[in-house]
Amino acid sequence: MRIALVGQPNCGKSTIFNQVAGYRSVTSNFPGTTVSYTISDVRFGNRVFELIDLPGIYSLSPTDEAERESRRFILRTGADLYINVIDASLLSRSLEFTIELMELELPMIVCLNMMDEALEKGIVIDVDKLSEILGVPVVPAIAKRGKGVKELFETALKAVEEGVKTSPPKFCRGVERYIISLEDRLKKIEIVGKFPSRFIALKLIEQDEEISSMVYRYSPDLKGFVEDVRKKLFEGHERTPEEIIASQRHSLAFSIFEEVSRVRRVKPSFRDRIDAILLNPYIGYPFLFLTLYAFFSLVFRFGALLEEPLLSLFESIFNGISTTFRAKGLSFFIFKGVYDGFTGGLAIVLPYLLPFLLGLSFLEDLGYLPRIAFLMDALMHRIGLHGKAVLPLVLGYGCNVPAVMAVRILDSPRDRFVASILAVMVPCAARMTIIMGLVGFYLGGGWAFFIYALNLFMIGLVGWIFSRLLPGYCEGLIMEVPPYRLPTLRTVLAKTWLRLREFIVIAWPLLIGGSIALSLLTYYGLESKLNSFLSFITGTLGLPSQVGVTLIFGIMRKELSLLMLKQALGGNLAILSAVQMLVFTVFVVFYFPCVSTLGALLKEIGTRKALFVVLLTTVLAYILAMIVRGVSLLFLY
C-alpha cells in the first residue's frame, strides 16, 4: 500500500512524514525545502505501508521543477491514498489546490495542519462541516507537536479500506455547460479512463501542454472544438479561459472557507511586531549582518575552545602508543593513518561542524531564512538573479548538494545555471571547518571573516558577470514568508543528527581511508611523485610541495584537505606561514566541487554545464589564490 502526502509548500508535510517515519526528511520553516520526494516504509499498528513525502505544489499547473516532480508522481506513478495536507491558517488559499485534486477524483483525505496558528489568527474552523462539504474525512492536527498524527493515519488506513474517493465540485452554470459539452466529446476517446473526463476537459481549456498533446494525438480533430469553447468563454466573460477557471476555483474555495469558518478580530501579534522591525529596510540589514556575524563567531569560539586541547591530548596519546612499535614498518604507517583520520575528524571537524549545524537548524526552523531572502531580493536583482536564488545559496552553507538540488525552485534555465555556479562557491560546512580550523585557529577570527567576505564578494561578482553574459529577464520575487515558529528542541536535534550522521557514516570513514592511503603513499615513496606532479600548482602558489596530494583528497571530501594537510606536514600545521595558510584556504574554498556536489550538478544542469562549473571554479580558485598571495605578502611577511 502506498500513501502520499501532498499539499502546498510549507504546510507541514515533511513534519508529518518525520513523525511516523523517523527523521529522514529535512524540514524547514520556508517554502521549497523539499525538491524531490522521499519514501519510507512505515509500520502503523499491524499494517505496513509506503509513505511518500512529495515536494510542495501550489497547483497542477506547475511553475518550477519541484512542482513538476509532484505533478509527475500524481499523474503517472500514483498512490492508493493521498493525504492533502492543508495549512489551516491559510485555509481559503489552500482549498484551491484541494479542488484541483478533487477534479482528479483521487482517493483522498484532508489533514488540517497548524490548527494552533489558525486560532492565533482568530480563525475558528468547523471541521465536521468542512468534511461534509468536501465529501472526504478531515482530520485536524498540530504536526510539530505530534497532535492528531495518530488519528490522521488511523483515518487514512480506514479510508483505504472503505475506498474513499473525491468528486469534483461544480462551477457556475455559464462555465459548467462548456465543460460538460467538452466532456461529452471526450467520452468517445480512448484516453478517457486513465484520467477523469472533467479533469481532461479543464486541462484542455487551460491549454495544459502535456494533457493537450496526449489528447490531440488520439483525436486531432478535437483541437478545433476546444478552440471554439475557449473562444466562447472569452466572449462571454471577457477574460482568458485560464483566468476564468482559476477564478472559479478561487470563488469555490472562498465560499467553502466562509461556510466553515468564523474569523475573530485579533490584535497584531508579537510576531507581526518583530517582522515590522526585522524587515524594515533600515534596521533589517544591520540586524541581518549582526545575526550572521554572531552566528559564525559562536561557531568559531566553540570550535577553537575544543580544538587545541583535543589535538594536544591525541598527540600525547599517539606518542605513548607509537613507542610500542619497534620499527616504522608497514603496520606503523597503517596504524598512523587510522589514528590520524579518526582523531582529526574528532578534534578538527566536529568541534566546528556540530555548533554550525545546530545553529543552521535553529535559524531554518525559526523562519528567519525566508526573511533573509526578502531582504536580499534587491541585492540579488542587482546581480541579475531572482530573489528566490538566495535560498539555494543559504542551503549551501550547510551542504552544496541540497543547494544545487534546490535550484529547481527557480523557473528559468538561465537562473538555475547561474545559481548552480554560485551555490558551489558557497563555503559548505566542510569548507567552514577548514576556514575555522586553519585560518581562524592560527591567524584569528578576523582573517576567517576576511575569507567569508571575499567569498561573498566573488559570488556577487560572478553572478553579476554571468547574468549579463547570458540572455534572459529577471522576474520579481513572489514568495510566501511563513510566520515565526519557535523550533522544538527535538526537531533541531533530530535535524542536526540527520546532517551530522552523513559526516559520521560517509565522510569520516572516507577521512580515515584517505589518511591510510596517504600513509601508504608515504611508506611506498609514491607521495613525493604525486607532489612532484602537482608542483606546477603548489610551486606557483608558494605552498610546500607536500600540499599537492592533499588537494586530490579534497576532491573526494573537502574535510580531507585539512586532515591530509596535517598528516602531510607531520602533524604540525603551524609550520605553514600565515601567507601559506591563507593561500591554501582560499584555493580549497573555491576549487573543484566535491564528488557528491559534482553528481548533483550533472543531474541538475547536465554534463557540459557541470564540467564548465568545475573548470570555472578551479581557474577562479587559482587566480584568487595568486592574488591573495601577492597582496598578503605585503602585510603578513
Q: In angstroms, what is the C-alpha Rg of the chain? A: 28
Q: Are strands 138-140 and 108-113 parallel, antiparallel or unpaired?
A: parallel
Would you place residue 387 in the very low, low, confident or very high pLDDT band (cuts 50, 70, 90)?
A: low
Would you place residue 473 in the very low, low, confident or very high pLDDT band (cuts 50, 70, 90)?
A: low
Is the Cβ–Cβ distance between 416 and 407 less than 8 Å?
yes
Alpha helices in 383-526 (DSSP H): 390-396, 400-405, 413-425, 429-434, 441-443, 445-469, 489-502, 508-523
Would you place residue 252 in the very low, low, confident or very high pLDDT band (cuts 50, 70, 90)?
A: very high
Q: Is the pLDDT of residue 567 over 90?
A: no
pLDDT at 205: 92
pLDDT at 109: 94
Q: 555 or 101: which carries more pLDDT confidence?
A: 101
**φ, ψ for residue 38, nearest 5 deg:** -115, 140
CA dist 492 and 496 (Å) reads: 6
CA dist 57 and 507 (Å) reads: 33
The whole-number average pLDDT for the span 15-29 is: 69
pLDDT at 157: 92
CA dist 67 and 311 (Å) reads: 48
Q: 18 or 421: which carries more pLDDT confidence?
A: 421
CA dist 410 and 415 (Å) reads: 6
The whole-number average pLDDT for the span 232-261 is: 91
Q: Is the pLDDT of residue 625 over 90?
A: yes
Would you place residue 23 in the very low, low, confident or very high pLDDT band (cuts 50, 70, 90)?
A: low
pLDDT at 619: 94
Would you place residue 125 in the very low, low, confident or very high pLDDT band (cuts 50, 70, 90)?
A: very high
pLDDT at 255: 94
3-state DSSP assignment of residue 82: strand
Angle between helices 197-205 and 209-218 (to 10 degrees): 110
Q: Is the pLDDT of residue 445 over 90?
A: no
The residue type at 463: G
Is the Cβ–Cβ distance between 125 and 152 less than 8 Å?
no
Angle between helices 350-366 and 489-502 (to 10 degrees): 140
Q: Cell digits for 94?
A: 489552500
As a 3-state breakdown, the chain gives helix, strand, coil percent values, each rounded to 5, of 70, 5, 25
Q: Is the pLDDT of residue 583 over 90?
A: yes
pLDDT at 76: 85
Would you place residue 624 in the very low, low, confident or very high pLDDT band (cuts 50, 70, 90)?
A: very high
Q: Which residue has the cell 492528531?
A: 148
**φ, ψ for residue 603, nearest 5 deg:** -70, -40
Beta-bridge partners for 125:
261
Average model confidence (pLDDT) for the chain? 84
Beta-bridge partners for 484:
none
pLDDT at 246: 92
Q: 536 or 478: which carries more pLDDT confidence?
A: 536
Would you place residue 247 in the very low, low, confident or very high pLDDT band (cuts 50, 70, 90)?
A: very high
Residue 324, classified by CB atoms within 10 Å of its CB into exposed (0-12), middle (13-18) or buried (19+), is: exposed
CA dist 488 and 349 (Å) reads: 26
For residue 613, the surrounding DSSP H or E stretch is helix 607-636
Q: Is the pLDDT of residue 26 over 60?
A: no
pLDDT at 375: 78
* Beta-carbon count within 10 A of 621 CB: 22
pTM score, two decimals? Answer: 0.67
The whole-number average pLDDT for the span 118-136 is: 91
Q: Is the pLDDT of residue 129 over 60?
A: yes
Long-range contacts of 150-158 (CB under 8 A, 24+ apart): 152/16, 152/83, 152/109, 152/111, 153/20, 153/44, 155/109, 156/3, 156/81, 156/83, 156/109, 157/44, 157/45, 157/47, 157/49
* Beta-carbon count within 10 A of 631 CB: 12
Is the Cβ–Cβ distance between 438 and 349 less than 8 Å?
no
CA dist 152 and 156 (Å) reads: 6
Residue 141 Cα distances to 87, 481, 582, angstroms:
10, 22, 52
Is the Cβ–Cβ distance between 40 and 17 less than 8 Å?
yes
The whole-number average pLDDT for the span 497-510 is: 78
Q: Which residue has the cell 468563454?
A: 233
Residue 51 Cα distances to 41, 88, 152, 611, angstroms:
6, 22, 13, 36
